[in-house]
Structure 1
Amino acid sequence: MADSSRGFVRDARGCRHWGPHGAAGLLLLRGEDLLLQRRSWRVHHGRTWSIPGGALEAGESPWDGARREFAEELGSLPALRRLHTFVDDHGGWAYHTVVAEALEPFRPRRGDGEAAAHRWCSRTEVAGLRLHPGFAAAWPQLAAGLDGLDRQHG
């Protein structure tokens, strides 16, 4: 069976994106810090910082796709509490940033090789990193939106 998540598509603006069904990533929070990964030199926009994520499979929800990609790229997945999903709609193609907090301590392991490194960062540290262009473009809206998220259990 062919993998329906592979391939480039063009959005309404004429920009090229990987994944005909859109893409999703998981922004994991630990208190005020967030987990970023440095992309391997072998992948598109390598040596930049972003969140674990990638193309959605046909029929896959952003929540399921973000968790799948996170587990593939960082070797495991902690128990999570979903907080919010930010959608960056490009007209015919969208990137879904799923924000969640870990309900248990999490330490990334070796995944599928798409991540060269990972680190917990404060929001102020993010601005000083060489970011993936898509993540860099979305970061101001994401950072502002994080302030309004309810992180209280219950």
Structure 2
Amino acid sequence: MVTSAGLLLHRRSPVDGIPEVFVAHMGGPFWRRRPRAWSIPKGLVEDGEDALDTARREFAEEIGVPAPTGPVLDLGEVRQASGKRVRVFAARADDFEVDEVRSNTVQVELPRGSGRFVAVPEVDDARWFGIEEARGVLVSGQVVALDRLLAALEGR
């Protein structure tokens, strides 16, 4: 079974104090016009690699800046429709901002079956969303991580 690990940054909105999360829009033509094309920055856990180390590495690769340091909450595993399991960690990042996403690239065959490959960014945008708004844009299998984060923040 494929397992990934991701880092979900959270904060209270500097404007109205509502909980917000920092999520990434998946790059490439497949995701350009699809609903629910936003994701927790994440990636494949390599053999022998610690899941939190993976989450921090992948955040840096996909967003283009190092992940904030500090305490993390382990929100456990979520399962996506594809069957992929994602171990989600959350970190508070009140002062985190990114002017420009500088993601690594991946090779995609376009059009499929053509034998022609092009490099596309793994992530083409990333930003803060209020948790309720994030529910509507996040990959559906990852929405449960928002519920777990809210429960942890409320001390449940």
- The normalised TM-score by structure 1 is 0.67
Partner residue in 1 for 2:9: 28
Whether the 8 Å CA contact 1:24–1:62 is kept in 2: the answer is yes
- In structure 1, what is the Cα distance between the partners aligned to 2:39 and 2:47? 23
Partner residue in 1 for 2:115: none
Counterpart among 14, 25, 28 of residue 38 in structure 1? 25
Counterpart AA for 1:34 = V
Partner residue in 2 for 1:87: 76
- In structure 2, what is the Cα distance between the partners aligned to 1:43 and 1:77? 27
Counterpart AA for 1:25 = G
1:141 aligns with 2:148: yes
1:99 aligns with 2:86: no
Partner residue in 2 for 1:116: 124
Higher relative contact order (CA 8 A, sep 6+): 2
Offset at 1:137? 4.5
Offset at 1:115? 1.1
Q: Which has the larger radius of gyration?
A: 2
**Distance 1:101-1:80 versus aligned 2 partners, 3 A rule:** farther
Counterpart AA for 1:131 = L
The unaligned stretches of length 5 or more in structure 2 are 13-18, 105-120
The unaligned stretches of length 5 or more in structure 1 are 1-8, 10-18, 150-154
Identity value in percent: 31
CA RMSD in angstroms comes to: 3.0
